[in-house]
Amino acid sequence: MARQPLVARRAEELLGASVVATSPVAGGDVATATRLRLSSGQTALMKTLPHAPEGFFEAEVAGLAWLDEVEGGVPVPEVLAAAGDCVILAWVEPGAKTPVEAAAAFGQQLAATHTAGADGWGLDHDGFIGRLPLPNRTAGSWAEFYAVRRVLPYLKLARDRGAIADSDAVAVEAVVGRLTDLLPDEAPARLHGDLWNGNCLWGQDGVIHVIDPAAYGGHREVDLAMLHLFGLTHLPRVVAAYDEVAPLAEGWEDRLGVHQLFPLLAHACMFGGGYGARAGTIAARYT
C-alpha cells in the first residue's frame, strides 16, 4: 500500500497513531473509503466526505452505537474515531459468502436486535439515507410514521426531480391511503434501516457484520423487505433462523412490497433509473 498524505494526516490527528500506508476501497456510493494500516499493525477503514451535511457522520456513529447496545444482536465494526468530515472504523476482513452457518447466526442476531425494541416510532434525532435527510420525528402509529416520514417525503422529492411518472406516483399515493388496513400492529423494533446486501459484510471471521445504518424505531418487516429487495446470499436461511427466534406475523411475505416502497423511492431520488417505475408497479398490487 502507498500512503496518501492528506488522508493519512487527518487519520493521525484523530487516532493519535501513525498511518504507515493507505489504499482506496471500492464500492462507496456516498463517501470515499480508504484502508489504513497503522503503525500498531491494526487495519482500519476511513470514510471521508468533504462538506458532509451537518450531523452526517455523527448520525452514523450514533446508529452503530445503538445497534451495538444489543447483546447477541447484529455485529457492527468498532468506531475508532469520528469527526464532522469522516469516520474511522475497525477493518472487517472480507471472507467467502458461502457459510450457511453465518447466515443462520445472522438471522438470529437480527431477531435479537429487532426485539430489543425502541422507545417509539422514529428516533430522538433525524438521520440520513445515503446523502438524503431522513426525518425521524415520532408519530402515533407505524402506519402514520411510514406515510409521513418515509413514503410521502421521498415521493414528493422523486416527483420534483422527475424520477417518477405521474401514474406511478398516483399508485403509491393510493397505497398510502390504505396503510392502516395493510400494516399490522407491532411494537417498534430497533431497525438498521438501510439493510441491503452492500451493507452486510461477510467477514473472514465467519460473521456477517453490518455497516452504514440509517437506524430508527420502526416495523421490523422494513429490514426484511430491504433484504428481499436487493438480495442476500442464503436469505431463506436467514429468514428461517429469524423466524425461529421471533416468529413473523401472518402475511409478512405479502406485505414486503409495501415496505419496499420507501427504499425504492429513496433510490429513485438518488439514482433515477427505473426505481420510480418499480415503486409504481409494486404499489399497483395493493390497490
Q: Could you give the domains of the chain?
A: 5-90 (3.30.200.20), 100-284 (3.90.1200.10)
The predicted model scores a pTM of 0.95
Phi, psi of 186 (to 5 degrees): -145, 160
Annotated catalytic residue 29:
no
What number is the average pLDDT over the span 203-213?
95
C-alpha–C-alpha distance, residues 88 and 44, integer Å: 7
Q: By percentage, how much of the chain surpasses pLDDT 70?
A: 99
Model pLDDT, residue 1: 55
Of the listed ranges 3-12, 193-202, 218-227, the least confidently predicted one is: 3-12
Is pLDDT of 273 > 60? yes
Model pLDDT, residue 3: 67
Model pLDDT, residue 121: 98
What number is the average pLDDT over the span 204-230?
97
Catalytic residue among 29, 168, 194, 205: 194
Residue-wise pLDDT for 97-131, tens only, equals 888 999 999 999 999 999 999 999 999 999 999 99
Is pLDDT of 40 > 70? yes
C-alpha–C-alpha distance, residues 18 and 11, integer Å: 8
Strands (E) across 141-237 are located at: 189-191, 200-202, 208-210, 216-218
Helix (H) or strand (E) holding 256, with range, is helix 252-271
